[in-house]
Amino acid sequence: PMSVLMASTTSKREGVIFNSKNIFEMIKKIDIIAFDKTGTLTEGKFNVIGTTIPKDILSIVVSAERSSNHPLANSIVKNITDIEKIDVIVKDVIGKGIKTTYKNNQIYVGSLKFLQEKIASYVESEEIIYKRDFGSAFIYAFSDNKVYGYIELKDEVKETTIKTLAQLRYMGIDVVMITGDHKNTANHIGSKLGIDESLIYSEVLPSEKSKIIKELQKKGRIVGFVGDGINDSIALIQADLGFAIGEGSDAAIESADIILNKNDMTLISYSI
């Protein structure tokens, strides 16, 4: 129909591309949108606040992170430059971190959850818990029986995020946040965005995102999902309507129903 063609042409000018003409009816039915946090709700450009990892181990950690395309890894490599570059063997541990080998020594780099799988007795200090309550994220370096230290990082909410979420709520659409972050960090970001804790899913593995969407669908919800990463493609397909940030991975863009060509969150409410 002419109205669909005109809407599609106008939206494309504004930076919104519809991958199918059949999605216009679905847009009207969406009653909840799930957002991947890093790089979608937030900038995805973490600042390194500090580290307690000894310099020799830090060289191994940063050298290993060069092989990863995760936003945290990219930020570590970009921010920590005053170290020796060395050749290491790296293996991804999906959703948890990486395992690196240097001179026959194995060092793991990753989340608290990953650390506690190796060293069950490890408990975070009150200082770290306090910092998590204010939005800090922590990446640990450890072996099978020793914790070397951590890197503290912080991400910032996009300028357009709060406005977008307010617009969606005004339209009667609920907002969900999905993240691999620790619960305390996730709740801090969620509170800044006005997202109820019952709608925040933290410490989520990449493979679990689509399962969360499926559970919402089982409850009768018509679900949109917004993501930008290679790990978001299955969730984008599972959602009734998938939005991909145009600066995201090729896999995410190919899986989406709607592509936002600008890194501007207000395009989501505009497209609806």
The single residue listed with the structure tokens 């999905």 is 178
Report d(CA 83, CA 170) in Å as an integer: 49
Phi-psi region of 223 (alpha: psi -120 to 50; beta: other; left: phi over 0): beta
Answer yes or no: are the C-beta atoms of 104 and 76 closer than 8 Å: no
The tokens for 20 are 């199918």
Give, as one character, the DSSP assignment of residue 262: S
List of residues 6+ apart from 42 with CB closer than 8 A:
155, 156, 157, 158, 161, 189
CA distance 76 to 45: 10
From the list 42, 38, 97, the residue with the least C-alpha distance to 67 is 97
Looking at the chain, the number of H-run helices and the number of E-run strands are 12, 13
Catalytic positions are: 36
At residue 10, the 3 state secondary structure works out as helix
State the Cα–Cα distance between residues 191 and 204, nearest whole angstrom. 18
Residue owning tokens 């919800």: 221
Q: Which of 171, 172, 155, 173 is nearest to 226 (CA)?
A: 173
Amino acid symbol at 243 = F
